[in-house]
A and B are shown apart, each in its own frame.
Chain A
Amino acid sequence: MSELLLNPAILMMAAGLVALVLPRRALGIWAVAVPLATLWLLWTLPQGEAGRLTVFGIELITRRIDGLSFVWAVIFHIAAILAGLYAWHVQDRVQQVAALIYAGSAIGAVLSGDLLTLFLYWELTALSSVLLIWASRNPTATKVGFRYLVIQVISGLLLMCGALVLYRDQGTVAFGHIGLEGLAGWLIFIAFGIKCAFPLLHNWLQDAYPQATPTGTVVLSAFTTKLAVYALARGFAGEELLITIGAVMTAFPIFFAVIENDLRRVLSYSLNNQLGFMVVGVGVGTELALNGAAAHAFAHILYKALLFMSMGAVLHRVGTVKASELGGLYKSMPVTTIFCIIGAMSISAFPLFSGFVTKSMILTAVGGEGYWVIWTVLLFASAGVLDHSGIKVPFFTFFFHDAGHRVKEAPWNMLLAMGITAFLCIGIGVYPEPLYAILPYPVDYAPYTAAHVITQLQLLMFAALAFAVLMRKGWYPEEIPSTNLDTDWLYRRLLPRVIRSLLNGMWAIDRGARAGAMAVVNGVVERMAKSHGPEGLMSRNISIGAMVSWVSLFLAIYLFLSFY
């Protein structure tokens, strides 16, 4: 029993429940102290499988710590600590409780050694995270939250179906390599794919994340999708299909990000694009590639959180993150500006920043395996990252035309959270060895070669030059208030329309059928009325006299006949 409870995930979720009754002012410190404590616990726990439980004859493993799960569990803890600090001032109990349970269930999912435990945590991440969207407490967020929840729950149900089919076929639900063979494999693959925001299954992300609270989006950005990347790395490493899917994922969101006005949505598209790099790494499946995927997930959680934090701070102070309404904020929020730029340089993979030492592992693995088309697409996407996250987000928020906002700098706790995250982004970039040391496989990779530094700088600086040229020529698309259609149009517009017209069709058929039936009934009634009505044949009045004379006639005939 104690083995079951000695699980960072269980403890964190229990702490989440405790937060239901804590004094409001203690919520902030609780949100930081709890993940700190469970991170320490994680560090002291031995590697291997523990916390076994037998349910209906199926053996569940609730805690598995190995090379792959450890690095994910560590970064999820760090993300929870930083998000807790960032949300220190939030006294909304719903958000604080949800954040702890959400982080706890994501960690539980990463540590689970079987698919049923994974499924439970998988659904729990959905149920707890949606509260961070609903906590915005406006009608749009409510609707968006429902859409988000439906899609997440569908992913969970597919996972459960897949696990059950696997159990029927193989008699086990152990969560190891699954592969794309048979129905079970595909069901689980699609379940993971939905949560990982595969192309065409992606739009829940850009729909939901920008609607959460300023602090909620920071929490959301860390867990769900990276949990999916972990699950893919565990179950589908080396599946070639993932290479293609990942490459498409890196490329297509960048076009949407360029023309999107809501900067938190820009970052959501950018998140999608970064996931693509990890998915490619998982698909290549070599030790270097998987290390790259894990390292990139680690670095990505930090710089993406930092970028969302900076936008959250802007939203908190200015009340909007629409690029068309921002500009010149460096005058009011200089520290936030610097942190945002550090996040932007990390995601763009400038030398000395975290993206440089992690993304390049994936590109090296892809290049080393000879996938030249994929490699070129990833390089292309890297130039795209520089645009939307590297330049667009900081430039249109903090520089460009001064929109006239004069606000206070972000609160101390937001600045501190951003400061630590920024420190980690640079720390990993300058000194990647500690990160490399906890990766799933031994690392034999040196990011700082003259060739790598120079070629990367050439790529980035020439892309930046292109920005300067396009901007000066006036060819860069301006930021305008707009809604851009994406696949969510299918279920927000097309599907309701189709259903409406189907229903209209059914109404029409129903109306027709009822009108026909009424006509028949009316016909019958009319005929009855004709025959049985006052003037009808059946109700004609024949006089008694006539009847008596007929009777006497018949009797007379009868009498006459009886004589013979």
Chain B
Amino acid sequence: MSSDQHGERPRWLDRPETVTLIVHSLWVICAALVVAEFFYHKHPYFRFDGSFGFYAIFGFAAYCFIVLSAKRLRRLIKREEGYYDE
């Protein structure tokens, strides 16, 4: 049910262009953060965390891994809502 069905004026966030704009801004921010790699002094704890773009790659990969494996986990542990019948 959207704003229209309530007789409301559609909001800025309801428009698909806005969502696209937000996602594009995210890409731009991420690109800027990669460029920032050249402009600060690293002091890694170990060797691997000092490699180029480590945090960026790790953040993206870890997130995908978590979400996609949780989706798999659902096949194993998901039951209907009233499973425990309480």
Distance (whole angstroms) from the CB of A316 to the closest CB of chain B: 21
A372 touches B63 (CB 8 A): no
Cβ-defined partner of A380 (8 Å) among B37, B62, B67: B62
A45 part of interface (Cβ distance < 8 Å): no
> Could you say which residues of chain A place their CB within 8 Å of the CB of B40?
450-451, 454
> Could you say which residues of chain A place their CB within 8 Å of the CB of B48?
372
Cβ-defined partner of B63 (8 Å) among A255, A386, A456, A483: A386
Distance (whole angstroms) from the CB of A204 to the closest CB of chain B: 15
- In the complex the two chains form, what is the Cα distance from A246 to B65 in whole Å? 21
- In the complex the two chains form, what is the Cα distance from A144 to B86 in whole Å? 9
Given the known inter-chain contacts A330-B13, A464-B26, please indicate yes or no for A143 contacting B86, CB distance below 8 A: yes
- The B24-66 residues at the A interface (CB cut-off 8 A) are 26-27, 29-30, 33-34, 36-37, 40-43, 45-46, 48-49, 53-60, 62-64, 66
Q: Tell me how many residues of B have a C-beta within 8 Å of chain A.
A: 55
A466 touches B60 (CB 8 A): yes
A467 part of interface (Cβ distance < 8 Å): yes
Closest residue of chain B to A485 (Cβ to Cβ) is B77
Secondary structure of the A contact surface, majority rule: helix
**Residue positions of A touching B, CB distance < 8 A:** 139-140, 143-144, 254-256, 258-259, 328, 330-331, 364, 367-368, 370, 372, 375, 379-380, 383-384, 386-387, 399, 402-404, 406, 450-451, 454-468, 470, 472, 475-477, 481-486, 492-493
* Smallest CB-CB A-B distances: 10 pairs: A367-B45, A404-B1, A258-B70, A466-B63, A462-B59, A383-B62, A459-B59, A458-B55, A463-B63, A483-B83
Kindly list 9 other residue pairs between chains A and B, CB separation below 8 angstroms, not including A372-B46, A470-B64, A475-B67.
Answer: A139-B86, A330-B13, A375-B45, A402-B2, A404-B1, A462-B33, A462-B60, A484-B78, A484-B79
Interface CB pairs A-B, < 8 A, 22: A254-B66, A259-B74, A331-B8, A364-B45, A367-B49, A370-B46, A375-B46, A379-B58, A451-B40, A458-B33, A458-B34, A461-B29, A462-B56, A462-B60, A463-B59, A466-B64, A468-B26, A477-B71, A481-B81, A483-B82, A486-B77, A493-B84
